[in-house]
A and B are shown apart, each in its own frame.
Chain A
Amino acid sequence: DQQVKQNSPSLSVQEGRISILNCDYTNSMFDYFLWYKKYPAEGPTFLISISSIKDKNEDGRFTVFLNKSAKHLSLHIVPSQPGDSAVYFCAAIPDSNYQLIWGAGTKLIIKP
């Protein structure tokens, strides 16, 4: 049973518009969430994170929103750029700091 779900396998967005990637989780004990970006045949790179005590974290063009009551988080990219085309993984940290629970990823395609 997947504890972290990214229900959209892919998303296509026009360059310059907002990209919104969604992630749902089932375990209310998760206390930290991260987004990673991955290009083909490369390792993921850390993008942005959010603690469960916050509902928003912003870093440049990237903003992550957390809705704990809905067990939902989203990553907003504004404005979207061609270099943003990649697979985005949502991940959550349970009570142990040494493991991550990963979503299946969403492939973002930015159209020129």
Chain B
Amino acid sequence: DGGITQSPKYLFRKEGQNVTLSCEQNLNHDAMYWYRQDPGQGLRLIYYSQIVNDFQKGDIAEGYSVSREKKESFPLTVTSAQKNPTAFYLCASTEVGGWNTEAFFGQGTRLTVV
């Protein structure tokens, strides 16, 4: 079955720690995205990548980093510089051509700072 897999589903982080959220897709999609969801707000774009070894900052990239070494994988690192990391994180992918074609989302990772 084709789809996007995010792991873990729940993640707890101590203040000052970096954590990495995994996103893997087997849809052969070129473009991948990371979003953050907070209560009462729309999804906000953190980073996106249109092709392997290339990525661009979204609206709220500060405190985050990504890599795109393989087409299938787009991990997101939440660094200690992110002031308010507790949120629900969603990964998505689309074919070339972007959102006009069907996009797929992962199940999300809920990150909590303890």
Secondary structure at the A interface, as helix, strand, loop or mixed, is: loop
Q: Which of A97, A98, A99, A103 is close to B42, meaning CB atoms less than 8 Å apart?
A: A103
Is A43 a contact of B99 with CB atoms below 8 Å? no
Contact among A4, A41, A45, A97 for B110, CB-based, below 8 A? A41
- Judge whether B106 is part of the interface by a CB distance below 8 angstroms: yes
A1 contacts the other chain (CB 8 A)? no
Tell me, in angstroms, the Cα distance from A34 to B101 when the chains sit together. Answer: 11
Please report the C-alpha to C-alpha distance between residue A96 and residue B98 in the assembled complex, in whole angstroms: 8
Tell me the bound Cα distance from A45 to B91 in angstroms: 12
User: Which residues 24-61 of A sit at the B interface, judged by CB distance below 8 A?
Assistant: 32, 34, 41-46, 49
Rounded to whole angstroms, the CA-CA distance of A104 and B110 in the bound complex is: 18
Question: Considering the chains assembled together, what is the distance between the CA atoms of A9 and B88 in angstroms?
Answer: 18
Bound together, the chains give a CA A43 to CA B94 distance in angstroms of 14
Please pick, from B48, B91, B102, B105, the residue contacting A98 in the complex, using a CB distance under 8 A.
Answer: B48
A4 contact set on B, CB distance < 8 A: 42
How many chain A residues touch B (Cβ–Cβ < 8 Å)?
Answer: 26
Decide if A20 is an interface residue (CB 8 Å cutoff).
Answer: no
Q: Write 5 A-B pairs (CB below 8 A) sorted by A numbering.
A: A42-B108, A91-B99, A97-B100, A98-B99, A104-B42
For residue B60, CB closer than 8 A to chain A, the reply is no
Q: Please name the residue on chain A nearest to B45 by beta carbon.
A: A99
Q: A34 and B99 in contact (CB under 8 A), knowing A43-B105, A98-B50, A99-B48?
A: yes
